[in-house]
Amino acid sequence: MTSDTISRPSTAGNSSSPARSWFGCSAPALLLYVIFCLALAVADYLRPLPTFDRYLYAGAVASLRYSDPATIQRIARTEFDAQPDPFQFENVSAEPYFTDVYNNPDHFMQQLGFYRVKLGYVATGYALWRAGLPILTGLRLLSACCLLITGLAVLAWTHETVLSALLLLAPSVLTMGRMVTVDPLSTTIVLLALLAFAKNKDLLAAELLTASVLLRFDNAILVLILLAWMIWKKRLSLSLGALFGALSAGCVVLTNHFSSYYGWRVLMQHSFIKPEMEPVKHPIPISFAGYLHAIAALRVIPYTYMTIWLLVAAAAWRKLPPKSALRTLLPLAGLCTLARLAIYPNVEDRYFLWAYLLAGIALIQVAHAPSSTTEKDALC
């Protein structure tokens, strides 16, 4: 029994229905599911996570139009203070870094290199700003829309409305629409690419994965691993795979150049050792001892959601039908996760949402497998 048989029950006689052909459910069920996803998206839009990053992303967007540090900081602070659930700056005002970045235009401007490197996301925010939306309103709307699109992608993959809705309610996934960061958009593009891969639309998958590098350059890890696998399995020609690999590498180089990226070692020092007030004038790269210190922090993994999703992925993988694309994608996702943790040892859920969603989709796909196997054994 194939994965299609398991995940798309009772579709015979309904091939003319778009809801059946795309999402494996009736039109009323699809309507209820869309309303549910819209309700989650609206709730997330109205309650953004109160993070300090919003302030810096607003500055990164404004920096695409203005160059004066005082002007950029004024725009960012105006946006920051106008949002609902405003970040209570007093909570961290005792920290020299936050106080300095909040009040010093020159130091604020130097921090933007860490955020402009997400060039595709910042450019999207800029386009929404120029279209008439306030910067952070546009970025919040973008994250909420990403949750909606992700919900539809999950349903298109699983064809299970109730179980897909439950997956969206998982804490790691539900907060996706509340993040004013690049991660919701990156997760959505990567998930759509993997869905295309599962549907054997390899060219579309390669195009979407390459585009995702403009959002997060560390997505190049997934791009290169999946391209190598597709070339090995002859799903892509060597020349075409090499072209997409070169495009991904070129996107990384150009993004780093135009965003004035400070380099991996400075980013590591800034993130894990000590925040850099002046990374332009006085960049401090991380030492090998500092890198080992950052890696040692991964000992918290057993106490995070990552452990739960890893167990879900492992349990689901054992039960997956032999022809399921997830039997390939889950090990590749694990390899990408290990590589990313080695390069940037941060275990925040937002970096691995696409992998968590894969694990949840795999669990949904095998939900009917035990009963189907029993019926088959009984017939034998």
pLDDT in tens, 161-186: 999 999 999 998 999 999 999 999 99
Q: What does the pLDDT look like over 176-222, one tens digit per residue?
A: 999 999 999 999 999 999 999 999 999 999 999 999 999 999 999 99
Lowest mean per-residue pLDDT among 42-51, 71-80, 367-376: 367-376
Q: Of 344, 343, 317, 320, nearest to 331 (Cα)?
A: 317
pLDDT at 332 over 50: yes
* Spatial separation of the C-alpha atoms in residues 138 and 144, rounded to whole Å: 10
pLDDT at 1 over 50: no
% of the chain residues with pLDDT over 90? 69
* Spatial separation of the C-alpha atoms in residues 287 and 281, rounded to whole Å: 19
Residue 220, token pair as written in the block: 């190049």
Lowest mean per-residue pLDDT among 50-64, 72-86, 119-133, 187-201: 72-86
pLDDT at 7 over 60: no
Considering only CA atoms, give the Rg of the chain.
22
DSSP code of residue 10 = T
Residue 11, token pair as written in the block: 């579709």
Q: How confident is the model at residue 373 (pLDDT cuts 50, 70, 90)?
A: very low
Predicted TM-score of the model (pTM): 0.89
DSSP code of residue 286 = P
DSSP code of residue 91 = G
| Residue 38 near residue 148 (C-beta atoms within 8 A) | yes
* Spatial separation of the C-alpha atoms in residues 138 and 122, rounded to whole Å: 11
CA dist 213 → 49, 63, 207, 224, 357 (Å): 25, 21, 10, 11, 19
Which residue shows structure tokens 């002046």?
278
